[in-house]
Amino acid sequence: MSQQALTIDGLETVYDALATAIDQAGADKAQLFLVKLALLNANALADEHLFQQQITAALQDL
Amino acid sequence: MHTPTTEARPSIYYTYEVFKPWLASEHPKQDRQKVVIVGSGPAGMVTALELARHGVASVVLSAELQFSQGSRAICFTRRSMEILQQVGVAERMTEGGLPWRFGNSFYRGQRVFRMEAPHDADDRFFPIINVQQQFMEEYLHDACKANPLIDFRWGNKVNKVDQKDGYAVLEVDTPEGPYAVESDWVVAADGGRSGIRTALNLQMEGASYEGFFVIADIKINLPLPTERLAYFDPDWNPGNTILMHREPNGIWRVDYQLPAGETPEEALRPESLKTRIDAQLAMIGHAGVPWTMDWSSVYSARTLTLPDFVHGSVIFTGDAAHLLPIFGVRGANTAFQDAQSLGWHLAFVVKGLAGPTLLANHSTERVGAAREIITEAGKSTRFMAPPSPGFRLLRDAVLSLSLTQEFVRPLYHWRTSRPHEYTHSLLNSAGDDNGLFKSGPAHGAPPQNVRLAANDFLLDHLGGGFDLLYFTDTALPEALQQAIQTARAQGMPLNVIAVGATQAVAGADQHLPDADGHLRQRYGVPANGGAYLLRPDQHICARWLTLDATRLQAALTTALPQ
């Protein structure tokens, strides 16, 4: 994974923002919202191999 | 007894001619044929015309007595037109066709993507031209009829193909009963439901996608340009996709995906068609415009190919060899490339100029093309008709993002059919200068057309055999002329064009002045003495910065393996 990492404060901010946004999207749109977000993140990441690693990590321990 | 209908098919815009069946009793008994082509669609007829061009006679068998029902294939690519030009029907296609180059994708009433297909000043033909398939078949049939090497037999249905040692025996049924015909080669151009493929029990490789599309042709007057229109997830057909194309003769193609679980029979009920077409017209702002139905059908997307097109004396081509989704206009456009390739490969084998390796090369090249198309078309298909919840979710996320985010919009691109490059073909010369060129079409690539003057293009001058473009303003070196003569003496058709010569030069059949050096520049040739060798399908098989007799000889030998 990347050397860069969020600060604890930053991670907490992301945590709250994402949870709030999922609630705002509503149960029937949460999946769609998360996929849109993933695509925006992937584009910002600009690295399809790193994104694949993240997919693998996220698929673990479901 | 085979009794095809003698009733002309119904059509608003096309008058079907019902042809007389070919009956064995009306003809003298015939010897074994060189080539019998089963099927008279685009693949069958172009194969016959290409074979004839190389001097090989064929028999074309059509089970029906008339051209195919409905418009079917309507969008023909530039490369298809270049191939049709080679067999003499491009002018008629152009006269009756609607050329275009723009495509639009809509979501929630917003145009989220506009495709602009490039149109180079050096191209004679537009990226796409719309012509209904019946007209295209009529033009090809007229060309076949005018050719003494093509024996066209209407109302002849193949019941059985028996493979023998080095030839095949076909049982052909007709309105007076069956007769037998022997042939060295059988071209199975009998379409997507190929009876010959089934009889030989051949399995295709690839995927079939769930979900059906209705394809409907309506006569309607819509004030819209000839451009591709694609609508995603509209209110009247949630989650699904609708395509529209203008056709000639006041016809529009409306193509829509069916909700999951609906059967083709339900979808083709007149009231179902009417409700949906009315809804589509209302959505694009033309509610209530009167229309009449011409033809409708149902299809599903498949990406399947035979892993080998040659089986004994039987060679599969076109839809009989592979089934490709229509997204990206892959059916007939691929069939033309198959048939053009098969025509010359088979002709050279029939004439004894090359061995079975050449036919194996045809199969390798065209299976490779089919696989490339399957990879590309699979992407389009997964976007147009998502095959699983995951693909649907991603597609819906892209639709939603595309309203504001530029980066996802290219995913709407439908990847139009393009000619396959035979980059690793067995026929490419190993000892030429391919890798040293900085531009121009490389090994295996189709040719780059070049405008020479008003209504005069490079491709107008090519075809019918191998073409050697030799860049010179003077006579060809003696040794080169010698090598060319030797190849010709062995039966190789080789047309030599002197590029850069203002008058006829010794050793060349034609000369192109290329006064402004434009052709030379497009082909990346820095100086006189450079050359390109094009196969009979115009794909490049060798190119040199400086050609010499030894390397020409080597390239010609490589191009016709024994």
Q: Domains of chain B by range and CATH? A: 24-98+120-203+305-369 (3.50.50.60), 434-559 (3.40.30.120)
Domain that holds residue A50: 28-62
User: Structurally, how many domains does chain A consist of?
Assistant: 1
For B503, phi then psi, to 5°, come to: -145, 170
Return the residue matching tokens 């064009």: B497
Selecting from B393, B405, B407 the residue whose C-beta is nearest the C-beta of A32 gives B393
Q: Across residues B421-449, what is the average pLDDT?
A: 97
Task: Give the number of beta-carbon pairs within 8 Å between A and B.
Answer: 22
Q: Does A39 reside within a domain?
A: yes
Closest residue in B to A46 (Cα–Cα): B407
**Residues near B211 by Cβ (< 8 Å), separated by ≥ 6?**
B257, B258, B260, B300, B301, B385, B387
Does A52 reside within a domain?
yes
| C-alpha distances in Å from residue B192, one per residue of B319, B322, B355 | 5, 7, 29
Domain-located, residue A12 = no
The verdict on residue A51 lying in a domain is: yes
* Structural domain includes residue A59: yes
- The mean pLDDT of chain B is 96
Average pLDDT over residues A2-9: 82
Q: Closest-CA residue in chain A for B394?
A: A35
Predicted ipTM of the assembly: 0.95
Chain B hits for A32, Cβ within 8 Å? 393, 396-397, 400
Q: Is the pLDDT of residue B21 over 80?
A: yes
Query: Predicted confidence band at B209 (pLDDT cuts at 50, 70, 90)?
Result: confident
- Give the helix/strand (H/E) hosting B539: none
The pLDDT, as a whole number, for residue B210 is: 79
Rounded-to-integer distance, Cα B373 and Cα B369, Å: 6
Beta-carbon separation of A32 and B396 below 8 A: yes
A55 touches B at CB < 8 Å? no
Residue B214 is predicted with a pLDDT of 96
Flag whether residue B400 sits within 8 Å of chain A, measured between CB atoms.
yes
Classified as helix, coil or strand, B501 is coil
Using pLDDT thresholds of 50, 70 and 90, give the confidence band for residue B207.
Answer: confident
Q: Cβ–Cβ of B401/A32 closer than 8 Å? A: no
pLDDT at B201: 97
- Model confidence at B92, pLDDT cuts 50, 70, 90, reads very high
Q: Is residue A20 part of a domain?
A: no
Mutate which of A29, A32, A39 to test chain B, going by most B C-beta atoms within 10 A? A39
- Is the residue at A6 inside a domain? no
Two structure tokens written together for B448: 């780059």
A59 touches chain B (CB under 8 A): no
Contacts of A59 in chain B (CB under 8 A): none
Structural domain includes residue A4: no
- Backbone dihedral region for residue B331 (phi beyond 0: left; psi -120 to 50: alpha; all else: beta): alpha
pLDDT tens-digit readout, B167-176? 999 999 999 9
Give the residue on A whose Cα is nearest the Cα of B393.
A32
Chain A residues whose beta carbon lies within 8 Å of the beta carbon of residue B233: none
Q: Is the pLDDT of residue A1 over 70?
A: no
Cβ contact, residue pair B401, A39, below 8 Å:
yes
Condensed to tens digits (0 to 9), the pLDDT of residues A34-51 reads 999 999 999 999 999 999
B529: left (phi over 0), alpha (psi -120 to 50) or beta: left
pLDDT score recorded for residue B380: 87
Residue B126's CB is within 10 A of a number of other CB atoms, namely 20
What's the confidence (pLDDT) of residue A35? 98
What pTM value is reported for the model?
0.95
Per-residue pLDDT tens for B466-514? 999 999 999 999 999 999 999 999 999 999 999 999 999 999 999 999 9
* Chain A residues touching B393 at Cβ < 8 A: 31-32, 35
Q: State the average pLDDT over residues B10-38.
A: 97
pLDDT in tens, B393-423: 999 999 999 999 999 999 998 777 889 999 9
B238-257 pLDDT tens trace:
999 999 999 999 999 999 99
Q: Is the pLDDT of residue B326 over 80?
A: no
Instruction: Using a CB–CB cutoff of 8 Å, tell me whether B403 touches chain A.
Output: no
Question: What are the chain B neighbours of A38 within 8 Å (beta carbons)?
Answer: 397
SS3 per residue for B375-438 = HHHHHHHHHHCCCCHHHHHHHHHHHHHHCCCHHHHHHHCCCCCCCCCCCCCCCCCCCCCHHHCC
Nearest CA in chain A to B405: A40
In chain B, the percentage of residues whose pLDDT exceeds 70 is 100
pLDDT at A3: 63
